[in-house]
């Protein structure tokens, strides 16, 4: 068999592999979504199987993802094992999303809180309450009026109703579900499907945009992020944090392609809902890219106007007059002062509460507020510095390496800005940093070798914290979570400030040789 026939045969085999892996990662979410719209599970499985088969049969559908496959056999075997784990874990979680009584299929079946907690309860209930003219930020609306315990929350089936904390424009999202006549359980399933699929597709889209060998490695590591407990648990509880990261990255990809309208809508909605994605606006300003910033401001104003028209002025007035003072004083998150919560708070304020629980003096609430303000002020010049570094990197790095550096900077800034929140649960506090780790590993060399150690250490400490929440937390647990948090913060700062490695003449010659001798070049 000549080399051309071998290359064609390898591509055909690779399409089958990519189709099966893609079906294993995306299939569970698609089944849950189809079930939410009334299709039986068996019929939904048939639809997904047919879709995967059609993609494998229709070459162009999967050809773009074939280059993301690892080349060496050991890495390919490891990649297939990780992908299988991710597929099994997602399928298991899909069972819990379809049937909430199947708590045994949840990520941590032994943790009652995770079995009964769904952030989607806050979203759907706030949307319903906003239509009645009530103050959606009043904690009393989410409590059980008939309970003797004042902190006992109302329930929707097996789930306790969470308290709503986001700015009013976010309510446009659950309003769509209400307009379609979907109840909470249907919206919970669709929200899980949307977040799972967009996380997967955003990782692949980012890898394809990066291109070259770094893009191939970044794409191959996407299943790793799908298999990690923080990702799975965030998808289970349905917090918007994962979508805020996805929307922010997709917005920057759109801006890179001069598609300003969709990018502005994505970044504007993410910033209006979670605030921290607004740090990318500072990065764009520092890079002198005023047009995307102007488009984002315009889209944000349009979204605010749409929210005013849809919700009325009530939620906006309540947010400014009631919720903002509570956020400033810390009353919106009173549980942050509980010692048992210190170990799971991944914010900068959480650092202070960990130190306080360890007996460190000068870490009271007032000091924590000052530290948080100083931290927020420090993020602004850091974003400007990151923009300057990227301008310099563009002149000395290969195109693929430069795009990889851009993506690393986006995720690092997002993770650092998110840490300003007074309460950032460790469930999703590390999502951006874990994604960043895969992009650092995509550089190869020392970064790739350190990737496994960092991932194993971080996941181990996270699991230690996730499996138990004693009160008061033991010193060992506080020290472990403190170390993980400091390492993650340092990782993000290092990703922005580390030295640039310009391409050598030998690398330029090697790149040119690989391009001339590649199977694709010979087939052309």
A 10 A CB-CB count for 106 gives 22
**Confidence class for position 25, pLDDT limits 50, 70, 90:** confident
Query: Residue 68's closest CA among 227, 201, 200, 204?
Result: 204
Instruction: Supply the pLDDT for residue 463.
Output: 53
Q: What local confidence, expressed as pLDDT, does residue 523 receive?
A: 33
Is residue 492 over pLDDT 50?
A: yes
Q: Read off the pLDDT of each residue in 117-135 and give the average, rounded to a whole number.
A: 92
- Long-range pairs for 213-216: beta carbons < 8 A, 24 or more residues apart: 213/400, 213/444, 214/400, 214/401, 214/403, 214/404, 214/442, 214/443, 214/444, 215/68, 215/400, 215/403, 215/404, 215/442, 216/67, 216/68, 216/69
Q: What is the mean pLDDT of residues 196-209?
A: 93
Mean pLDDT score, 70-98: 83
- 457 or 38: which leads in pLDDT: 38
For the cut 50, the answer to whether the pLDDT of residue 2 exceeds it is no
pLDDT on residue 67: 67
Tell me, yes or no, if the pTM score tops 0.85: yes
The mean pLDDT of 195-220, rounded to a whole number, is 90
Task: Give the Cα separation of 187 and 35 in Å (integer).
Answer: 11
| Res. 457: pLDDT tops 70 | no
Q: Is 2 in contact with 522 (CB distance < 8 Å)? A: no
Whether the link from the prior residue into 472 is cis, omega within 30° of 0, is yes
At residue 5 the predicted structure's pLDDT band, cuts being 50, 70 and 90, is very low
pLDDT per residue as tens digits for the range 246-271 = 999 999 999 999 999 999 999 999 99
Helix 399-418 and helix 212-220, axial crossing angle in degrees, nearest 10: 40
pLDDT at position 113 is 84
Query: pLDDT digit string (tens) for 512-523?
Result: 454 444 444 333
In this prediction, residue 509 carries a pLDDT of 44
Residue 429 pLDDT more than 50?
yes
Judged against a pLDDT cut of 80, whether residue 308 lies above it is answered with yes
Calculate mean pLDDT across residues 221-244.
Answer: 91
pLDDT at 469: 60
């Amino acid at each position: 068999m000549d080399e051309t026939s071998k290359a064609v045969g390898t591509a055909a085999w690779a399409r089958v592999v990519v189709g099966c892996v893609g079906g294993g990662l995306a299939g569970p979410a698609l089944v849950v979504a189809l079930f939410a719209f009334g299709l039986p599970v068996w019929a939904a499985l048939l639809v997904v199987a047919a879709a995967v088969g059609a993609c494998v049969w229709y070459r162009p559908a999967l050809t773009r993802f074939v280059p993301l496959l690892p080349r060496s056999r050991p890495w390919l075997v490891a990649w297939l094992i990780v992908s299988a784990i991710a597929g099994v874990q997602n399928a298991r979680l899909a069972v819990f999303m379809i049937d909430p009584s199947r708590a045994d299929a949840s990520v941590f079946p032994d943790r009652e809180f995770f079995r009964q907690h769904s952030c989607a309860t806050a979203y759907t209930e706030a949307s319903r309450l906003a239509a009645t003219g009530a103050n959606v930020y009043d904690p009393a609306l989410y409590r059980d009026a008939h309970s003797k315990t004042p902190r006992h929350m109302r329930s929707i089936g097996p789930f306790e109703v969470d308290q709503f904390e986001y700015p009013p424009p976010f309510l446009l999202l659950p309003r769509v579900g209400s307009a379609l006549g979907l109840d909470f359980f249907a919206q919970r399933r669709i929200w899980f499907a949307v977040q799972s699929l967009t996380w997967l597709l955003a990782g692949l889209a980012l890898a394809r945009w990066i291109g070259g060998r770094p893009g191939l490695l970044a794409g191959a590591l996407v299943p790793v992020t799908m298999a990690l407990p923080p990702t799975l648990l965030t998808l289970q509880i349905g917090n918007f944090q994962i979508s805020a990261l996805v929307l922010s990255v997709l917005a920057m990809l759109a801006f890179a392609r001069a598609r300003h309208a969709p990018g502005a809508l994505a970044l504007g909605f993410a910033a209006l809902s979670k605030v921290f994605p607004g740090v990318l606006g500072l990065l764009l300003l520092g890079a002198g890219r005023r047009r995307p910033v102007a488009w984002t401001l315009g889209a944000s104003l349009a979204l605010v106007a749409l929210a005013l028209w849809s919700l009325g002025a009530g939620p906006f007035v309540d947010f400014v007059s009631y919720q903002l003072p509570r956020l400033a004083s810390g009353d919106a998150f009173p549980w942050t002062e509980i010692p048992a919560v210190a170990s799971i708070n991944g914010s900068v304020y959480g650092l202070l509460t960990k130190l306080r629980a360890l007996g460190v003096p000068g870490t009271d609430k007032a000091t924590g507020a000052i530290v948080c303000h100083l931290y927020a002020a420090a993020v602004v010049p850091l974003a400007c510095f990151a923009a300057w570094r990227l301008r310099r990197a563009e002149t000395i790095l290969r195109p693929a390496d430069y795009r990889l550096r851009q993506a690393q900077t986006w995720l690092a800034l997002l993770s650092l800005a998110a840490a300003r929140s007074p309460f950032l649960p460790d469930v999703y506090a590390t999502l951006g940093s874990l994604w960043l780790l895969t992009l650092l590993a995509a550089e190869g060399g020392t970064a790739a070798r350190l990737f496994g150690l960092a991932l194993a250490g971080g996941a181990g400490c996270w699991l230690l914290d996730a499996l138990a929440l004693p009160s008061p937390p033991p010193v060992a647990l506080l020290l472990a979570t403190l170390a993980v948090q400091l390492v993650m913060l340092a990782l993000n700062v290092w990703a922005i400030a580390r030295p640039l490695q310009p391409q050598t003449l030998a690398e330029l010659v090697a790149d040119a040789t690989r391009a001339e001798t590649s199977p694709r070049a010979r087939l052309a």
